Structure 1
Amino acid sequence: MEGIFITIEGPDGAGKTSVLRELLPRLEDAMTIDIVATREPGGSRIAEEIRELILNPANTEMDVRTEALLYTASRRQHLVEKIKPTLARGALLICDRFVDSSLVYQGAGRGIGIQEVAEMNRFATEGIEPDLTLYLDIEASVGLERINRSKEERQFDRLDQEKLEFHEQVRAAYLTLVEDNQERIILIDAAGSIEEVVTTCFNLIKERFPTRF
């Protein structure tokens, strides 16, 4: 792949979507290559339809393994339709969530097992991994407070409605991934202002890929 693959990860309430929205125009003004933003679950027509099924709060009877398989199916379709073609033409693709989210939410939070979910995703992604992952870290209780304050302005999905213990397990698993993948995943304190977080993300990308600026 000739392009650059960056992912943004973090617990619910970390501000990933807001940060990405502010970060994109800064990158577009400064970088010398095309930039494509996308998200998971979703990012392509079929993958977005699967997203609606997964996150619909009405689907309370969904089995945890069914959930994990649906995330993986959505990811596979997204990879084929958008991720691989974008990277093949040499662009920068920046994605709101990727495999790390499945490892922590389904593997740890749902108790399926991180290795089991990792194996499922290796099959779906053919081993494709991000070049850089920006992990926005926030305490679970703070993230949930943010979600509850803004739930009239955003989708309040099945995962948002989980109890604090679930979100604490997710964050703990994220921190383990950071420790185990220090070359790829960089921790960013998301408790500060959005301007501070966006500037930190921008500087980290510029430092990692200086020839593309």
Structure 2
Amino acid sequence: MSHSDHDWVRRGKLIVFEGVEGGGKTTQLQRCSDWLQETSGWLEGRDSTSERTLLVVTTREPGGTSFGTKVRELLLGEGGYQGTAPKTRTELLLFAADRAQHVEEFLKPKLAQGAIILCDRYTDSTVAYQGYGRGLDLKLIEQLNQIATGGLESDLTLWLDVDLEVGLKRARKRGATDRIEQADIEFHRRVQSGFRLLYQQNPHRIVQVDANGSEQQIHSSIQEILRQRFSEWSNQLSPTS
């Protein structure tokens, strides 16, 4: 453990949005960000005379830093490939490199400031996609995640659970173009099974959200979950002036 790890104090909360393609993660994350920053949102019941607010920030993996943006292009092929796409183990290591940079450059500093971080994908995606989807060794992935995060886990993970056919139909409708989204149906079935197993193994950290309904129905479900969690966390958060 480095000297900076000893000095680091976690004051904020890390909330992660996970799930297969077409579950609405990115849309719901942005809606939650808007809601959390409204004075009439989750702050209901807090001291209305206080001018202190909580910093709410959004980020994603891969691509939550300048370095990560370059890694994202390599991983997902968004800029097109000159040569072959990353091999399976290369893909795993690139995700780990992106995460290590993201944790040190963005997540830990923001948490130390007391921020509420809404993150589009984190460690569970690597387990589901590279572990269950690609068939890589789960113990190896666990070790890499530990190295990349330094043990930093989410405070809450919202698993947007959508029927696979519904999700892929949504993804096609919005013009899904990245390399992983375009994988075959069996790959996505394995990924979905991986998320379900992770949910069953981590019931206190991962909360299942039915993502088959309308955008508003999903948002309302997430609001209720967050209201409950913020009530539990109310004495742990550090508002800023």
Going from structure 1 to structure 2, the CA distance change for 1:39 and 1:61 (only over 3 Å counts) comes to closer
For the residues of structure 2 that align with 1:56 and 1:173, how far apart are their CA atoms? 24
Summarize the alignment of residues 107-122 of structure 1 with structure 2, pairs less than 5 Å apart: 107-122=131-146
For the residues of structure 2 that align with 1:116 and 1:198, how far apart are their CA atoms? 35
For the residues of structure 1 that align with 2:21 and 2:133, how far apart are their CA atoms? 12
Deviation string 1:32-77 (CA, Å, 9 cap, x unpaired) is: 4110110010111001110111000644542100000000100111
Q: 1:156 offset after TM fit, Å?
A: 1.1
**Which residue of structure 1 lines up, in the alignment, with residue 190 of structure 2?**
169
Q: Report the 3-state secondary structure (helix = DSSP H, G, I; strand = E; otherwise coil) of the residue aligned with 1:43.
A: coil
Identify unmatched segments of 5+ residues in structure 1: none
Deviation string 1:121-150 (CA, Å, 9 cap, x unpaired) is: 101100000000000001222211111111
For the residues of structure 2 that align with 1:193 and 1:22, how far apart are their CA atoms? 13
For 1:122, give the aligned amino acid: Q
Q: Report the 3-state secondary structure (helix = DSSP H, G, I; strand = E; otherwise coil) of the residue aligned with 2:207.
A: strand
**Which residue of structure 1 lines up, in the alignment, with residue 64 of structure 2?**
43
For 1:139, give the aligned amino acid: D
Which of 212, 217, 220 in structure 2 is aligned with 1:191? 212
Which of 87, 92, 106 in structure 1 is aligned with 2:130? 106
Which of 149, 159, 163 in structure 1 is aligned with 2:180? 159
Q: 1:201 offset after TM fit, Å?
A: 0.9
Q: Report the 3-state secondary structure (helix = DSSP H, G, I; strand = E; otherwise coil) of the residue aligned with 1:134.
A: strand
Identify unmatched segments of 5+ residues in structure 2: 1-9, 44-52
C-alpha contact (below 8 Å) 1:40/1:96 kept by paired residues = yes
Which of 9, 19, 30 in structure 2 is aligned with 1:10? 19
Q: Report the 3-state secondary structure (helix = DSSP H, G, I; strand = E; otherwise coil) of the residue aligned with 1:124.
A: helix
C-alpha contact (below 8 Å) 1:5/1:92 kept by paired residues = yes
Normalised by the length of structure 2, the TM-score is: 0.84
- The structure richer in helix per residue is 1
The percentage of counterpart residues that share the same residue type is: 39
Q: 1:169 offset after TM fit, Å?
A: 0.3
Which of 12, 26, 36 in structure 1 is aligned with 2:35? 26
For 2:18, give the aligned amino acid: E
C-alpha contact (below 8 Å) 1:41/1:50 kept by paired residues = yes
Which region of structure 1 is more displaced relative to structure 2, 132-141 or 51-60? Answer: 51-60
1:69 aligns with 2:78: no
Q: 1:205 offset after TM fit, Å?
A: 1.2
1:144 aligns with 2:165: no
For the residues of structure 2 that align with 1:38 and 1:61, how far apart are their CA atoms? 25
C-alpha contact (below 8 Å) 2:61/2:119 kept by paired residues = yes
Normalised by the length of structure 1, the TM-score is: 0.94
Q: Report the 3-state secondary structure (helix = DSSP H, G, I; strand = E; otherwise coil) of the residue aligned with 1:42.
A: coil
Q: CA RMSD in A?
A: 1.5
Superposed structure 1 runs of 4+ greater than 6 Å apart: none
C-alpha contact (below 8 Å) 2:77/2:85 kept by paired residues = no
Q: 1:20 offset after TM fit, Å?
A: 1.2
Q: 1:114 offset after TM fit, Å?
A: 2.1
For the residues of structure 2 that align with 1:2 and 1:133, how far apart are their CA atoms? 18
Larger of the two Rg values belongs to structure: 2
